[in-house]
Amino acid sequence: MRVQSSPWDVAVVGGGASGTLLAIHLLRQARAPFRILLVERGGQVGQGLAYSTRSQRHLLNVPAARMGAFAEEPEHFLRWLRQETPDTEGGDFVPRLRYGQYLDAVLEESIARAPQGVQLETLSGEVTSAREHGGLVTLTTRGGVELVARAVVLALGNANPADLRVEDGGLYTSPRYHRSPWAPGALDGIGADDTVLLIGTGLTMVDAVLSLEERGHRGALHALSRHGLLPHRHPRTVLQGTYASPGIRDVLRALRDHGLRAPEQAHPIPVRVRALLRVLRHEVRRATDAGASWRSVVDALRPVTVPLWQRLDSGERRRFLRHLRAYWDVHRHRMAPDVADGLERLRTQGRLRLHAARVRSFHLDDADAVRVRVRRRGERREEDLQVHHVVNCTGPEGDVTRHGHPLLHRLAEEGRARPDALGLGLDTDGHGALLDARGHAGGRLFTLGPLRRGELWETTAVPEIRAQARALSEHLLKRLGRGFVAPRRSAG
Ligand SMILES: Cc1cc2nc3c(=O)[nH]c(=O)nc-3n(C[C@H](O)[C@H](O)[C@H](O)COP(=O)(O)OP(=O)(O)OC[C@H]3O[C@@H](n4cnc5c(N)ncnc54)[C@H](O)[C@@H]3O)c2cc1C
């Protein structure tokens, strides 16, 4: 067992993009002495779910020039890419695995350039419990190792998709069902000519289709979701021509001047979903009249999305999730142009069919086939789809009571963390400190990234995570009395 001489200042649990970006910011900002521990159950830091793919076909859905690890240097990733491939353009959508390599390189560089006495240690292990005592937190790993820290950040990221709550007829325990397309070897067992049903029509489904294609799959593909909507595409000229949407600019200005308290009548800040939709539609008309794309309006919303979300009360947030989420997702999270071309080709060939429908039940007909009972959107009649395999592409499950993460489950059970009201993640304060069952922030346990979805809504893409990582790093350093030094510009 490891013998720990003194507590780590910060222990980060989870070495995906969020945990790695936080560690990078801490290393660049901390004053010595300062010790950081980064614990990752998968062994390899800097990758996590999104960037551990080995497929060259899984592309970033954000152009290279916007993926830098630092908000003040969004082109940092692009410059890093150009060291090896000088002709990379800012608008290119490069393989996601390159981003994992980049984060690893930036972490290494940050370790090497940190002041003497500012150190990072990485540990391979799964943390299963966290106990607060006397101003410290003790983490315990599955192997029984105890780790003591002054503050802990849970960067646990994306959970596996949850099973649909329908009659499964034994499917969920059979080899015909693939609960997560991201698990290693997840698509093994699907034959080249098998018919496959993909539940979900978003970017997770797109990933699964690309993986199947790469494996030489030739069979029919059905993709199904309640609305049957496919993500829109990025144009190839994604970085050219910016259009600053005037209405959204007004909202931004009003938020800056009046913060979250500005009354709706006095300022153009919608506090209802219907009003928000009206502003958006109006802005899209204005943009199109000015010869710009609707995409520029959606992109202009990015800096105001969090404050707008926070002005909606929980009833309005629910309304958004029920009626608008599917439309928001396909407009906001778009496909790289090459990926969109590939999907279009499959649809034209008739190999990929989209369905707007709900699954009612699954039934294993024999060892070879799955009968899926579905009800199409707007119809009462039910019908059957016959497939060989079902792949769950509904995306990461947010409800911590459903996704079976041992550490989160335990924290929630002990009342030291609580799910947010919408079941999208955990309740946190403005800095990312976990709120306990009574709504109090103990101030030693924090989170960032996908688990803050309930509070922030947009919290999963790198541009949002890097801003959170920096803000949380500053907050922790201030709290722990290790000052904040202005970040150095990177050499990269
Ligand atoms: C498929 C996919 C593609 C995406 N593409 C893009 C993109 O192109 N551009 C963009 O900006 N954003 C993209 N995103 C969004 C965003 O970048 C990711 O969600 C981001 O990777 C989140 O990182 P994370 O570290 O919070 O979570 P994760 O990547 O899920 O990492 C969490 C890590 O924590 C570890 N962990 C969990 N529990 C424990 C424990 N108890 N003990 C120790 N370790 C633990 C896990 O093993 C994992 O490595 C994508 C997301 C997905 C899912």
Phi-psi region of 362 (alpha: psi -120 to 50; beta: other; left: phi over 0): beta
Residue 124 pLDDT: 96
Query: Locate tokens 């940190």: which residue?
Result: 114
**Does residue 141 contact residue 127 with C-beta atoms inside 8 Å?**
yes
Q: Work out the pLDDT band at 299, boundaries 50, 70, 90.
A: confident
**Does residue 276 contact residue 457 with C-beta atoms inside 8 Å?**
no
**Concatenated DSSP letters of 407-430:** HHHHHHHTTSS-B-TTSSSB-B-T
Give residues with Cβ within 8 angstroms of 388, minimum separation 6. Answer: 176, 190, 191, 194, 195, 196, 219, 368, 369, 370
Pocket flag, ligand 1, residue 40 (CB < 6 Å): yes
CA distance 474 to 486: 10
pLDDT at 491 over 50: no
Query: Locate tokens 């779910």: which residue?
Result: 49
Tell me what the pLDDT averaged over the chain comes to.
Answer: 90
Ligand 1 centroid to Cα of residue 27, in Å, is 21
Instruction: Give nearest CA residue, ligand 1 atom 14.
Output: 461
- Of the candidate ranges 41-50, 363-372, 476-485, the one whose mean pLDDT is the lowest: 476-485
Pocket flag, ligand 1, residue 39 (CB < 6 Å): yes
Instruction: Give bridge partners of residue 335 from the DSSP assignment.
Output: 233
Q: Please give the C-alpha separations between residue 257 and each of 250, 267, 268, 491, in angstroms, as whole numbers.
A: 10, 10, 12, 37
Instruction: Give nearest CA residue, ligand 1 atom 51.
Output: 50
Pocket flag, ligand 1, residue 48 (CB < 6 Å): yes
8-159+398-479: which CATH topology? FAD/NAD(P)-binding domain (3.50.50)
Mean pLDDT calculated for residue range 77-91: 96
> What is the three-class DSSP state of 470?
helix
Pocket flag, ligand 1, residue 95 (CB < 6 Å): no
CA distance 346 to 348: 5
Instruction: Give nearest CA residue, ligand 1 atom 8.
Output: 60
Residue 438 pLDDT: 95
- Decide the pairing of beta strands 146-154 and 8-13: parallel
- Of the candidate ranges 111-125, 198-212, 260-274, the one whose mean pLDDT is the lowest: 260-274
Q: Please give the C-alpha separations between residue 61 and each of 92, 197, 333, 345, in angstroms, as whole numbers.
A: 10, 24, 7, 19
- Numbered ranges of CATH 3.50.50.60 in the chain: 8-159+398-479, 171-232+335-392
Ligand 1 centroid to Cα of residue 244, in Å, is 31
Ligand 1 centroid to Cα of residue 116, in Å, is 30
Pocket flag, ligand 1, residue 202 (CB < 6 Å): no
Q: Work out the pLDDT band at 406, boundaries 50, 70, 90.
A: very high
Residue 303 pLDDT: 81
In ligand 1, the atom with minimum distance to the C-alpha of 52 is 29
Alpha helix (H) residue ranges in 320-461: 325-332, 337-348, 406-413, 453-456
CA distance 209 to 353: 12
Phi, psi of 361 (to 5 degrees): -165, 165
Pocket flag, ligand 1, residue 156 (CB < 6 Å): yes
Residue 239 pLDDT: 57
Residue 241 pLDDT: 55
In ligand 1, the atom with minimum distance to the C-alpha of 53 is 1
pLDDT at 492 over 50: no
pLDDT at 489 over 80: no
pLDDT at 336 over 80: yes
% of the chain exceeding 70 in pLDDT = 92
Copy the structure tokens of residue 491: 């050499």
Instruction: Give bridge partners of residue 40 from the DSSP assignment.
Output: 124
Q: Work out the pLDDT band at 272, boundaries 50, 70, 90.
A: confident
Q: Is 3.50.50.60 the CATH number for 171-232+335-392?
A: yes
Copy the structure tokens of residue 424: 């999208």
Rg of the chain over Cα atoms, rounded to whole angstroms, equals: 23
Residue 490 pLDDT: 54
Ligand 1 centroid to Cα of residue 283, in Å, is 33
CA distance 489 to 371: 57
Residue 268 pLDDT: 63
Pocket flag, ligand 1, residue 181 (CB < 6 Å): no
pLDDT at 3 over 70: no
Instruction: Give nearest CA residue, ligand 1 atom 26.
Output: 157
Pocket flag, ligand 1, residue 50 (CB < 6 Å): yes
Query: Locate tokens 């069919």: which residue?
Result: 353
The 8-class DSSP code of residue 175 comes to: T
**Does residue 98 contact residue 81 with C-beta atoms inside 8 Å?**
yes
Instruction: Give nearest CA residue, ligand 1 atom 53.
Output: 50
Pocket flag, ligand 1, residue 161 (CB < 6 Å): no
Mean pLDDT calculated for residue range 287-293: 85
In ligand 1, the atom with minimum distance to the C-alpha of 449 is 26
> What is the three-class DSSP state of 404?
coil
Instruction: Give nearest CA residue, ligand 1 atom 41.
Output: 127
Ligand 1 centroid to Cα of residue 158, in Å, is 5
Pocket flag, ligand 1, residue 22 (CB < 6 Å): no
| Max CA distance (Å), the chain | 69
Instruction: Give nearest CA residue, ligand 1 atom 17.
Output: 461
Mean pLDDT calculated for residue range 116-124: 96
Phi, psi of 102 (to 5 degrees): -65, -50
